[in-house]
Structure formats: structure tokens, C-alpha cells
Structure 1
Amino acid sequence: MIVREFTWFTLIFTLRGSVLRKIGLRLAVDVAVAVGVTLLFYYKILTVSITPLPFTLIGLALGIFLGFRNNTSYDRFWEGRKLWGALVNTTRSFARQMQTLLGPQPGRESPAESESHDKLAEARREMTYRCIAYVHAFRMHLRDQWQPEELAELLPAEELEALASEHNRPIAMLLRMGERTRALWAAGWVNAYHMGQIEQTLGKLTDIQGACERIKSTPIPFSYTVLIHRLVGFYCFALPFGIVDTVRLMTPVVVALISFAFFGLDAIGDEIEQPFGVEDNDLPLSALSRMIEVNLRQTLREPHESLPPLLTPDEHGYLS
């Protein structure tokens, strides 16, 4: 995602994050067609033109279609961002629960009463690290990636090997977190009421993941996307024939401006339809994952110098 602030002047000439790089070829071909039509009309080789009225009516309808499609795409983008905002809050709640609910239970023989304080700290650390590992695995899952080396310091090696064969690794990790919570309850580290609260938090993580998977696996209907692409292409490439008799030598300029608008809106809708990728305008899942990791490790009171740095935008303002 491009997050750096730009001035009005620099925005005009910025290429990183702009759709110009995606539509440049088709725009150049369209302008070349417009130049050819203009020359043919200027030298009276082409003497028949189309009235501009159909292009006015089609352009109006096409603008409405593109607006609806882009609104739908942005709704998906914004819903994805809200879901990751909910993920941030839910993981913070889980880490807090590990600090406040995990420990000696009155009326029960608890290992914390007979074993060292380090044992309790290790249990809290394990569960918090499992939550951090889940966040990173969830981000990889949405981006169709698997980089187990990122989880090497968070999970036991045998678990990482077992996860490699799982179809849905984040769900498998949530299951393991639930099993470990039950083991802590059976050992007397968590009471039954608090176990229910922790299970509710794990359930919220499952709901968030399911909603993100719904966005990822259910694109805008293909027939609608194809119709928009075809209409935009037909309109932009036929436009020179409709305006050459009116604007004459300015036809390539007018076609370039109008086609840039229509091709650009079409490309923007395509790009933000799937918000979990790694393109310039997709959500910064890596930065959000790193922020969650730092927040959760701070609940363990780890030294500041041992924490990984937060991700910052590069020189182009891109945050991955």
C-alpha cells in the first residue's frame, strides 16, 4: 500500500502505485489508432464519421457501470481492512488473557504453586508466540505463500514440519492453541470460566479468518468483469471515429484523456478487488503482522532491543 503523503505536483508524475504502468500499452495503442484515424480524415482518405451522440450515451452508461464496479471493489478492500483491524484487537485481547487469566487457580492444585515462576512465564510465552505465529501464517495463507523460516523461532520444529502438510495451516494452528488451552486447564492453570473466555477469543479469530477467506475466494462475477472490459475496450478504440469530425487534429489528445480515465477506472477496480495480495495498492499485511508481533511480545515485557523493527514505507511510500 502507498501510504506516504504527496504534494499535488508530485502526485501528477508519480508512477509507483499508479495504474499508468498497467494501462500504458493499451493506452498507447488506442492513441496510435486515434492518430491514424486523424491522418486518414485530414488527408480525406476517410470521409465518413460517426455522430458523437452514441458515444455520449454509451459513455454515460459506461461511467455508471464503472462506478458501481469500483464501489463494489472498494467495499471488498475496506471490509478486508476492517477485518484486519479486528484481528489486531482480538490478538491483543488473547495476549492480555494469557497474562491475566493464566496462573495459579484458588482451590485447585496448581503447578504454579509448587514449581518455579519461570514455568508460568514459559507457558505465557508459548501461548503468546503461538498467537504471533498464527498471525504470520494467516498472512501467508491469504497471499498463497508458505515461509516456515519466519515461524522457526515461534513454534517447535516438529510442529512446523507437521504444518507443511496441512491444507489450511492457520486453522490447524488455532486447533493446536485450543488443545494447549485445554491442557493448561487440565493442569490447573486456567479455571473453567476463563477457559470459556479464551475459547471465545479463538472463535473470533476463526470468524475473522473465514470472512477474509470469503473475500479472497469469491471474486466479482466473471461475466460482469468481462462485460466491463469489453465495453471499455470497444468504447475507447471506437471513440476516434466518433469525434474526429468535431475535434479534428485534437482527436489523439481527447482520446488519450478519455481513454486514460476509462482504462484507469477499469484497472483500479481489478487491482483493489483482491485486497490481500502484494501489489502497490493492496493492504499492508506484512506491516500489520509485524505490528501485532511487536505488540504481543511487549505484553511479555521483552526488552525493546530484542523486538523486531516495525516496517516503514520505502522511498516510494510503499508499505508491504
Structure 2
Amino acid sequence: MILIDRRAWLRQLLLIRGTSLVWTWKRVSLATGVATIATVLHQLHGGSSAIDLSPLPFTLIGLALSIFLGFRNNTSYDRFWEGRKLWGSLVNVARSFTRQLLTLVGPRMVDANCDHRAGVGEAAEMQAVRHALVHALIAYVHALRHHLRDEDGLEQLHGLLPPELLASLASEHNRPVAITQWIGDQLRGLYDRGWIHAHHLTVLEASLTEITAVQGACERIKSTPIPASYTVLIHRIVVLYCVGLPFGILSTVGTMTPVVVAIVAYAFYGLDAVGTEIEDPFGLDPNDLPLSALSRMIEVNLRQRLGEQELPPLLEPVDGILQ
């Protein structure tokens, strides 16, 4: 995600890194080059030639194209914003689930008249169990990020998961689901042991279910792009319009045709590129969601709840881009 000073108006005008111009400058140059050649030929023929067309078709097509691009970009942004809301939900449920693990898991009273207090050994075991579950939740967040970005990332889970679980993840196609299954198994074991009340188990299971629902919604966005036929149609119309535009405005614009075509091509190609870039909000493009920063923030928040002092630093933007 590109982070800029919204009040630095001139700096925004001069910004190139991460903007659509990085992907579209070749296309804009091609359209401008065609417009330049057409203008030169037009001038050589005394301002009148067979390549002169009526501007009416381009006016009609331009209006329809603007509507199509607007619809596609709105659809892409809806996907982007839904992805951000889902990760916001993941932040909330991770914090809530951690609080529940730290307060609802542990030895409880044997009966109404006997206050069962954990001994030194039992207290240490209780702390180890809670730490293991919270660390597994941290591992889940990182695994989900790698899963959505089609990365391996297994090495980042070292130190967060038990060795046997970590070894089993090497053959898993959906590692986040395997981690939630392990957490669920641990909760059932703690319930059987009497460390989780039946009412509390329902609360913990609800949080785990919500985490799974967030993952499923993210996978839906990732695995269901905008239909290819619609995207290809938009690409083709944009190319035909930008390349053919100079032949429709030569007689009215004259020698300024390349300039006008460059501006129009930059606008249409730019809108087309922006829609393509944010269609998958979980990638590594400059305008995609900063999943690495969100994952690190969740990790720091959860480790602090465990009382850990050695915390990884929060991620900062690099060249104005937060990954």
C-alpha cells in the first residue's frame, strides 16, 4: 500500500513509483506515437487526407468506455475494500480469541465449596498451554498471509508451532486450516481434562469458527476474479479507442493531436491498470493491502498479551510503500 502525505499536492503530481504510469507508459507512448505519425501525414497532405474520420464515433465509444471502466473499477475497489474489512475482522477476532484463551483456559474450582488453586507445576503447565495456543494463532495469521499470496513461508512458522505440527504442514495444501484444526483439537483435549468449562468451550469455538469464516471469504475473493471475458473486452476497447482516436480529432485539433491523445490514453489506460491491480487485494503490488504489516501488528499485539518483552518491530514503509 502506497502511503503519501495527502496534503502534499505537488508531490502527488510528481509521484511515479507505484502509480499506474509504471505499467502504462509503453501503451501511452504507443498511442502517442501513432498520433504523431498521423499528425505528420495529415500536415503533409495540407490538412486534409483519407485518414480523417468523423469524431462522432469516438464520442459515443468514449462515453460507453467511461461507463464500463467505472463499473469495473468500482467492482475492483469493492473487492479491495472487502478484503480490508475481512483483515480488520481478523485483527479483532485474534485479539478477542487471545483474551479468551488467557482468561477462560485453566484449572477451575472442583466444586462450589472447594477453591482449586493451581500448584507451581500446574501453573507452569497452564502458562505453557496458553502460550502454545496463542503462538499457534500467530502462526495461523502468518500462514494465511502466505496462503493468500501463494508463498511458501513455512520457515517463518518455526518457533511458533510444535515440531510435529510444523513437520506435518510441509504436505498440507491449506496450512491455515491445518493450524485451526490443531487448535481445535487442543481445546477439546483441555475440555476433556476439565480446563475449559462447557459454556466457555462454546465461546472459544465461536471465535475459531469466525476465523475460519474470514479465511473462507478471503479465499473467495482470491479464487473468483472478475470474469476474463469482461476484462479482455475492456482491454481491447481501450486499445482500439486510444490508437484510433487521433484519426477522429485531426481535423479539429490539428498539431495538438499527439498531446490530446497522450492525455486521453493516460486516463483510460491508467483507469484500466488500476482496476486490474486492485482486483486481487492480497498480492504484492504497491497498491495492494499491507498484509505483512497487519500480520506483524497482530503478532506484536498477541505477544504483548503474553507478557513477552522481546517483540519484533512493526513494519515501516519502504520508499513510501507498506507491504
Q: What TM-score results when the alignment is normalised by the length of structure 1? A: 0.96
* Aligned equivalents of 2:166, 2:78: Cα separation in 1: 35
Aligned with residue 61 of structure 2, among 58, 63, 66: 58
Asked whether 1:283 is paired with 2:254, we answer no
Amino acid of the residue matched to residue 19 of structure 1? S
Amino acid of the residue matched to residue 216 of structure 2? G
> What per-residue deviation string (whole Å, max 9, x for no partner) do you get for residues 72-108 of structure 1?
0000000000000000000001100011101122227
Equivalences, count: 317
* Aligned equivalents of 2:36, 2:175: Cα separation in 1: 54
> What per-residue deviation string (whole Å, max 9, x for no partner) do you get for residues 285-314 of structure 1?
0000000000001111112xx000000112
Amino acid of the residue matched to residue 78 of structure 1? W
Asked whether 1:317 is paired with 2:323, we answer no
* Aligned equivalents of 1:145, 1:308: Cα separation in 2: 21
Moved more, 105-114 or 271-280: 105-114
Asked whether 1:5 is paired with 2:5, we answer yes
Counterpart residue number, 1:252: 258
Counterpart residue number, 1:25: 26
> What per-residue deviation string (whole Å, max 9, x for no partner) do you get for residues 45-74 of structure 1?
860211111111110110000000000000
Amino acid of the residue matched to residue 183 of structure 1? G
* Aligned equivalents of 1:221, 1:22: Cα separation in 2: 21
* Aligned equivalents of 2:120, 2:163: Cα separation in 1: 29
Aligned with residue 184 of structure 1, among 167, 187, 190: 190
CA contact (8 A) 1:111 1:187 kept: no
Amino acid of the residue matched to residue 43 of structure 1? L
* Aligned equivalents of 2:140, 2:117: Cα separation in 1: 27
- Please report how far the alpha carbon of residue 188 of structure 1 lies from its aligned counterpart in structure 2 after TM superposition: 1.6
After superposition, where does 1:64-143 map in structure 2 within 5 Å?
64-107=67-110, 112-113=118-119, 115-143=121-149
CA contact (8 A) 1:112 1:189 kept: no
Q: What TM-score results when the alignment is normalised by the length of structure 2? A: 0.95
- Please report how far the alpha carbon of residue 112 of structure 1 lies from its aligned counterpart in structure 2 after TM superposition: 3.7
Q: What residue ranges of structure 1 are gaps of 5+ in the alignment? A: none
* Aligned equivalents of 1:260, 1:140: Cα separation in 2: 34
Asked whether 1:38 is paired with 2:39, we answer yes
* Aligned equivalents of 2:5, 2:171: Cα separation in 1: 43
Q: The residue matched to 1:190 in structure 2 has which SS?
A: coil
Aligned with residue 298 of structure 2, among 292, 295, 310: 292
After superposition, where does 1:206-245 map in structure 2 within 5 Å?
206-245=212-251
* Aligned equivalents of 1:172, 1:218: Cα separation in 2: 23
- Please report how far the alpha carbon of residue 165 of structure 1 lies from its aligned counterpart in structure 2 after TM superposition: 0.4
> What per-residue deviation string (whole Å, max 9, x for no partner) do you get for residues 135-164 of structure 1?
000000000011222110101222212101
Amino acid of the residue matched to residue 16 of structure 1? R
Asked whether 1:47 is paired with 2:53, we answer no
> What per-residue deviation string (whole Å, max 9, x for no partner) do you get for residues 241-265 of structure 1?
0001111100000000001000000
Q: What residue ranges of structure 2 are gaps of 5+ in the alignment? A: none
* Aligned equivalents of 1:269, 1:81: Cα separation in 2: 16
